[in-house]
Amino acid sequence: MKHSMIMAILIDKRTDAAPTVQKILTEHGCIIKTRLGMHESRDCADEGMIILDLTASNTEVEALEEELKSVEGVNVKSMVLDFE
């Protein structure tokens, strides 16, 4: 059975947290298969979301998640999608 690990990162204060989040994602770049960043373009909203498709062990994903959660204004949720 194949699986895919998906992580959603919600950033409340995008302009404040973005440099730190970017640094963390760069440090873990080898486990990021796909990255999609979104924010409301109208009035350039300060809230943003990043969706990651990860190719990593649970330990590596947990380490990334904990680092991201340590940044003020950043919320993280992960899920595993199993395919037959």
pLDDT along the chain (84 residues), means of 10: 85 86 96 89 77 91 95 94 78
* C-alpha distances in Å from residue 37, one per residue of 11, 65, 68, 82: 11, 17, 15, 24
Lookup result for tokens 């204004």: 73
Position 16 scores a pLDDT of 85
Helix (H) or strand (E) holding 58: helix 58-69
- Specify the CATH number for the domain of residue 78: 3.30.70.1150
Prediction pTM value = 0.86
Domain residue limits at 34: 2-83
Count of domains forming the chain:
1
